[in-house]
Structure 1
Amino acid sequence: MKQLAAEDHLTVADLNGPMVAMLTKAYDTDPTLAQKIIPDRVHPGPGGHLIMAECLLKAWNAPALVSSVKLDAASKTLVSAAATRVSNLRFGTSISWTQTDDALPMPVDWNDPVTVLAVRSSDFMEALDEEPLVVTNLDAPRWTLTIDGENIGTFTREELAAGINLAQYATPMAKQAAQVQALTVKHNAIHFLRWRSVQVPLQAEKDPHIKKALAELDAFEADVVKEQRAAALPRPHRFELTPAQ
């Protein structure tokens, strides 16, 4: 298949190989829970669909990086920032800054154990969802991170020096991504309803109400798309690291 695609200058997205590899690892980890990734052995659940989406996005060369920030507490400097803008950086007893990322993390449901198993059994995070925060040369042994006043977690200075992947936590950015996903699902539902329930089955009908119904659904869809795009726009977030007790 890859040879045929190359001859015709087409992109190949292998959904089977990575899915099999993920399922094999998931079954080795938790055989009972792994059965729920594809519960009827045909149709994947959300976790399986997430890995299939990864395969497609990787074939399209989707970037792995959401954003990246590295700070040095000793020199009190911003060492690097990628796919984000950092401002109002202050070093004192605590460290605070404002961060406006160019992109959002993937909307992974970390409360769903089946999805978590699928993600942990694959390279999903490394391939599509890297949002590292690195802070080196901290003095206190443990630090609490808040974003927009929300407690994200407490980390050791060694963990922060190595880097924590914010995409794995319930950050305001993750909540925004979930909002965008919900609007995307809503958009899809409207479009599917229009096509499946009105446009196709009633295409031979001459009733003027059908044309009006299609126009109303189009307007509804356009409103949701507008809301969807507005929800996805970058937002500034206030980060703060404080020594933990």
Structure 2
Amino acid sequence: MKKILVLAMAIFIACGTTLAQHVKPFREGERAVFLGNSITDGGHYHSYIWLYYMTHFPDMPIRILNGGIGGDTAYDMNKRLDGDIFSMKPSVLMVTFGMNDSGYFEYNGDNGKEFGEQKYQESIKNYQMMEKRLQGLPDTRIVMTGTSPYDETAQIKDNTPFKAKNETMKRIIDYQRESAAKNGWEFVDWNAPMVALNQQNQQKDPSFTLCGNDRIHPDNAGHMVMAYLFLKAQGFAGKDVANIEINASKTQTVKAENCIVSNIKKIGKELSFDYLAESLPYPLDTIARGWGAKMSQADGVKVVPFMDEMNREMLKVTGLKGAYRLLIDNEEIGTWNADELAKGINLAAESKTPQYQQALTVMHLNEYRWEIEKNFREYVWCQFGFFQEKGLLFANDRKAIEVMDENLEKNIWLKGRRDMYSKMMFEAVRDAREQEMDVFINKIYEVNKPVVRKIVLRKAER
């Protein structure tokens, strides 16, 4: 607990006024699009954010959409606004850029400082073109989002950092902040708090990084931290899944927040009651998913106080003596003594509970949905990363395939997407895949509804 509090303080200090700035929570029916580069394209942070809404607001369907393309700068993003981003009809648009805009290798050359200044000026010029387009969207709420950092301080074998690259990125973020203030837009930053967390953890493990082995692409844990920071900016710290307090000696409910407690009974050595929450606990994936991934989503909550702030399903029972076995729907969860129960236990940290298992179903359905959406982002990359410059944007014909094949050996990224594009170029295939994604989303909002659970505390035999 002390370690978590220290880390929370580090985040607060690093963020300054950033976390104090409020990003309005998404509302029912909204379409929230995250515009970005490969960190958004292949990343999970937006999926993790949506998972929070899926579990904590089961009766409030929204859509969160991936608007990332690998390798993009602000210039590239501006070119695809109409054909890609605006076609998603966003009611809320998060805008992040800076990783590719700020450049790479030249920082370690003889003119690194001059290079950083040049890339900064280019980035701002490109963003200003986009800014004009965004100003023409009166019905779309804009949230400027400071990019996740380039980690210059981690000790990574065979990976020499680009000196002062993140300093250029911070200048870009400062400009975004100023743009947001000028235009009446919202703003949230990932860079400063993630830098602070990296440096805090590197004091014990110099190789630690939330930004991946390449210092650029956050691992699953990094994306969970990004999701936490965004949700914190939306004001969800302190919102419990549920909070129950029962006085066993009086067989009374003392507290029932975000839930209904009924039918309390105490018979002999057993206390039981019915419990209907309004939310599900937030499930955490324990598998390090993705090529080269070393950390899982669950590893992210080891460095930020997500569980204490946003994932508390508290059960507190006073008036007991001895140890008690906890059962939910006849599933044994564990054994706690009376003092522990009187202090309260966080059921959201217990993966055996039926409600957590229900939430895991939502998580896995969301992961399948993410995989389909990622397929669409690969298709869009082909359009804007290759065909646009060839004058074949959305041509999707035999000529497009021929031009693609002529360039496969020159472009490894194109070659890796050839098979996918040969299928997705057909409208019927894309329609079918859209419908497939809708099936998963509809199923999520069908199975994410909390149900009445029977909770039993049974005196443990010595």
Please indicate the TM-score interval, normalised by the length of the shorter structure. Answer: 0.7 to 0.9
Q: Distance in 1 between matches of 2:194 and 2:452?
A: 36
Q: Distance in 1 between matches of 2:209 and 2:336?
A: 34
Shift of 1:213: 1.5
CA gap 1:51/1:89 in 2 versus in 1, 3 angstroms = same
Specify which of 290, 293, 315 is matched with residue 133 of structure 1.
Answer: 315
State whether structure 2 residue 281 is matched by structure 1 residue 105.
yes
Shift of 1:32: 7.8
TM-score (norm 2): 0.48
Q: Decide whether the 8 Å contact of 1:198 with 1:210 is kept in 2.
A: no
Shift of 1:25: 4.4
CA gap 1:36/1:200 in 2 versus in 1, 3 angstroms = closer
CA gap 1:39/1:149 in 2 versus in 1, 3 angstroms = farther
Equivalent residue, structure 2, for 1:175: 357
Identical-pair percentage? 28
Q: Kindly provide the amino acid, as one letter, of the partner of residue 42 in structure 1.
A: I
Q: Decide whether the 8 Å contact of 2:180 with 2:187 is kept in 1.
A: yes
Comparing both structures, which one devotes a greater share of its residues to strand? 1
TM-score (norm 1): 0.85
Unaligned runs of 5+ in 1: none
Cα RMSD (Å) of the superposition? 2.8
Q: Decide whether the 8 Å contact of 1:199 with 1:214 is kept in 2.
A: no
Q: Kindly provide the amino acid, as one letter, of the partner of residue 327 in structure 2.
A: T
Structure with more contact order per residue of length (Cα contacts < 8 Å, sep ≥ 6): 1
SS at 2:223 equivalent: helix
Equivalent residue, structure 1, for 2:337: 156
Shift of 1:225: 1.2
Q: Decide whether the 8 Å contact of 1:130 with 1:167 is kept in 2.
A: yes
Specify which of 379, 385, 394 is matched with residue 197 of structure 1.
Answer: 379
Deviations 1:168-225 (A, max 9, x none): 1112222222211111121122223235337964721258x82211221222122111
Specify which of 223, 226, 231 is matched with residue 49 of structure 1.
Answer: 223
Q: Distance in 2 between matches of 1:244 and 1:32?
A: 46
Q: Decide whether the 8 Å contact of 1:190 with 1:221 is kept in 2.
A: yes
Alignment of 1:1-245 (within 5 A): 1=174, 2=177, 5-28=180-203, 31=205, 34=208, 38-62=212-236, 64-92=239-267, 93-109=269-285, 114-115=295-296, 117-139=299-321, 141-170=322-351, 171-197=353-379, 201=383, 203-205=394-396, 210-245=426-461
Q: Distance in 2 between matches of 1:100 and 1:33?
A: 44
Q: Distance in 1 between matches of 2:333 and 2:211?
A: 28
How many residues are aligned here?
Answer: 242
